[in-house]
């Protein structure tokens, strides 16, 4: 089984890049199943039901979220229109949406789970370890892929070590910068952060001039996603058909041409 995981889709540029390239990427990688983190898909913060539907129509089997899960309030009312949208297990509001989905693919049941880290993040309702430990007995699946959304590299590495024997992959998201530490830990694929699908010429997907104006020159400004072409960051996880354990993780990065 090959699973393609694409990192945080940022705003219009990231969305359009993913929607335009996903079917080719599936064909090139031979991916059977696709997970996309969509937590920054709507103007850099949150997601709408209509964007969820565009991502799934383009080939995403499951869309995950993060700290901006509920930044666009309409998604709370429209969760029933988004059956494969996964919100972090350990943030408020606890009753909106689901912290995991189980999808069938190639005769396997694939669970996709979303967990929020604690360090340098918004308040969580429980530590990530406790949230994952509580969910595990509820999940009946052959493969378990965790989207671990957080800032701290060490926290994500520690989480992977704690759950490596019980899950298939722990894929870090949120920092928007891809790390070069992909590895297999006891049959569990891990990368600290898979990186973003968002505007390349930016500060983490945000307009660089706006960020500098706000943080260096202390001028009030509104959050502005950068324009221009996007890079696409992701990873391909391969599992053994018999054991369902991860045997390979390959980092992927598709950058726009510098002349674009
Ligand atoms: Fe995030």
**Which DSSP state fits 125?**
S
Whether residue 51 contacts residue 76, with contact meaning beta carbons closer than 8 Å, is answered with no
- Digit-coded pLDDT (tens) for 123-154: 999 999 999 999 999 999 999 999 999 999 99
Other Cβ atoms less than 10 A from the Cβ of 43: the count is 17
Whether residue 205 contacts residue 7, with contact meaning beta carbons closer than 8 Å, is answered with no
In the chain the domains, ranked by start, together with CATH numbers, are: 2-254 (3.60.21.10)
Q: What's the gap in Å between 67 CA and the centre of ligand 1?
A: 5
Q: What's the gap in Å between 90 CA and the centre of ligand 1?
A: 14
Q: What's the gap in Å between 132 CA and the centre of ligand 1?
A: 18
**Which DSSP state fits 71?**
S
What's the pLDDT score for residue 158? Answer: 98
**Which DSSP state fits 81?**
G
Q: What's the gap in Å between 245 CA and the centre of ligand 1?
A: 28
Q: Are strands 143-149 and 100-105 parallel, antiparallel or unpaired?
A: unpaired
Whether residue 232 contacts residue 48, with contact meaning beta carbons closer than 8 Å, is answered with no
Verify whether residue 68 is a known catalytic residue.
yes
What's the pLDDT score for residue 240? Answer: 98
Choose the catalytic residue: 68, 149, 174, 176: 68
* Residue 161 main-chain phi, psi, to 5 deg: -65, -35
Q: What's the gap in Å between 150 CA and the centre of ligand 1?
A: 7
Q: What's the gap in Å between 239 CA and the centre of ligand 1?
A: 27
pTM: 0.97
Other Cβ atoms less than 10 A from the Cβ of 250: the count is 15
Residues (pLDDT < 70) of the chain are: 258-260
What's the pLDDT score for residue 257? Answer: 82
C-alpha distances (whole Å) from 147 to each of 88, 214, 247 are 9, 31, 18
If 0-12 CB within 10 Å is exposed, 13-18 middle and 19+ buried, where does residue 88 land? buried
| Helix spans in 30-167 (H) | 49-57, 74-77, 128-135, 153-163
Q: What's the gap in Å between 133 CA and the centre of ligand 1?
A: 22
Q: What's the gap in Å between 240 CA and the centre of ligand 1?
A: 31
What's the pLDDT score for residue 259? Answer: 59
Q: What's the gap in Å between 119 CA and the centre of ligand 1?
A: 13
Q: What's the gap in Å between 241 CA and the centre of ligand 1?
A: 32
- Digit-coded pLDDT (tens) for 91-102: 999 999 999 999
């Amino acid at each position: 089984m090959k699973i393609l995981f694409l990192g945080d889709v940022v705003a219009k540029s990231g969305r359009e890049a993913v929607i335009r390239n996903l079917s080719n990427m599936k064909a090139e990688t031979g991916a059977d199943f696709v997970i996309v983190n969509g937590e920054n898909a709507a103007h850099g913060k949150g997601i709408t039901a209509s964007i969820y539907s565009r991502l799934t129509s383009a080939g995403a089997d499951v869309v995950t979220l993060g700290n901006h899960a509920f930044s666009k309030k309409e998604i709370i009312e429209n969760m029933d229109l988004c059956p494969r949208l996964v919100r972090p297990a350990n943030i408020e509001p606890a009753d909106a949406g689901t912290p995991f989905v189980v999808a069938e693919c190639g005769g396997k049941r694939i669970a996709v789970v979303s967990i929020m880290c604690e360090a340098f993040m918004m308040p969580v309702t429980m530590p990530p370890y406790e949230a994952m430990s509580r969910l595990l007995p509820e999940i009946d699946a052959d493969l378990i892929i965790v989207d671990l959304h957080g800032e701290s590299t060490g926290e994500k590495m520690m989480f992977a070590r704690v759950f490596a024997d019980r899950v298939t992959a722990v894929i870090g998201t949120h920092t928007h910068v891809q790390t070069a530490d992909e590895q297999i830990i006891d049959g569990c694929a891990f990368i600290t952060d898979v990186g973003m699908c968002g505007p390349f010429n930016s500060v983490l997907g945000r307009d660089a001039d706006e960020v500098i104006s706000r943080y260096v020159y202390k001028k009030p400004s509104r959050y502005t996603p950068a324009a221009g072409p996007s890079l696409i960051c992701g990873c391909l996880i391969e599992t053994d058909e018999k054991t369902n354990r991860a045997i390979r993780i390959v980092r992927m990065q598709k950058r726009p041409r510098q002349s674009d």
